[in-house]
Amino acid sequence: MIDPVQLTAELVRCRSVTPAEGGALLLLERVLSDAGFACTRIDRNGTPNLFARWGTRGHARSFGFNGHTDVVPVGDTAAWSADPFGGEIRDGILWGRGATDMKSGVAAFVAAAAKLVSEAPPDGAVVLTITGDEEGDATDGTTALLDWMAAEGEAMSVCLVGEPTCPERMGEMIKIGRRGSITARFTARGVQGHVAYPDRARNPVAAIVALAARLEARQLDKGSAHFDPSNLVVTAIDTGNPASNVIPAACRATVNIRFNDLHSGAGLSEWLRQEAGRVATETGVGMEVTTSVSGEAFLTPPGPLSDLVARAVAAETGLRPVLSTSGGTSDARFIRAHCPVVEFGLVGQTMHQIDERVAVAQIGQLAAIYRRILEEYFA
């Protein structure tokens, strides 16, 4: 038997700040091997990843879990009420970096899977994919695992990502999709000059401000059947100009768009370039644009998988969870091309914060939900 609370505490004690492995995957490999799982490290370009399977490779009924053991930096250690890597349990609360996002989720699905295969071995396979690169660039984490699985004939029929999904109460929300994310960086290049003689210069700051206003004024859409409206935010404007009497030669701006299924990264990239081109023509200022799409919008339509998870959540919490696509990106954006995927996990109120923490009772409750999901899936 694996105690998900104790395993969470042990994982929190692993200093696995991206990209460090910190001993977290070594711990899980040992625990899962002891539980009868075949474990394989799938490290790529220095990024640590773990694949674990119980049952037959490529089985037609294969339930997968996905999660990560890497965490964000702790910030000011002196501001914490407990050692961020202590895994301390006090008054029914487990403290530490990763306690919520998402070492508790990993511990819960490891405990649930190990209990199932030991007590009621299923006719099928249970697959666990755990990465050490979700909080970083995510270029060699879950993507590396999926690439390896494709090459080796490994597969998941469906997948549940254990990210925190509940805003305030345990059991209130399942994620069935996510909005896409695109970051655009603009560099306006003008002609430097003295502010007293603006006719001899070409001001890139004015061009960037005009472009930012133009972009923010655009209503991208009004939302779709399962998604909120897309939103665009100007996150930075910078000239690096310390002088108040000099028109600078260049100005830079950064914009991020979270977009729904009415758009694509390529389509938005083209629109951003067109808008930058129009401002360049109007102002005579050169405009360079680079875009980076970290994920496309995706949706697993409501159906058998989300119904299965919702029934288990309702049985253990008494709440009927809503199906949502809110929030930021997750590794589900990679898995959606492999198999149907949804996300369900803990209340995420303290993730990435000083004094990140989780109620011990929630960890046990989450493990029970995951166990119920597995039991019904293989029934």
Which has the closest alpha carbon to 287: 295, 299, 297, 279? 279
Task: Label residue 64 exposed, middle or buried (CB < 10 Å: 0-12, 13-18, 19+).
Answer: buried
The tokens describing 334, both together, are: 């990679």
Please state, in angstroms and rounded to a whole number, the distance separating the CA atoms of residues 330 and 191: 42
Please state, in angstroms and rounded to a whole number, the distance separating the CA atoms of residues 205 and 358: 46
Q: Which of the 8 DSSP states describes residue 21?
A: -
The CA radius of gyration of the chain, in Å to the nearest whole number, is 24
Torsions phi, psi for 77 (to 5 deg): -60, -35
Any bridge partners for residue 246, and if so which?
194
- H-type alpha helices, 13-132: 24-34, 103-119
Rounded alpha-carbon distances, angstroms, from residue 257 to 216, 220, 336: 10, 10, 21
- Annotated catalytic residues are 70, 134
Q: Which secondary-structure segment (H or E) carries 196?
A: none
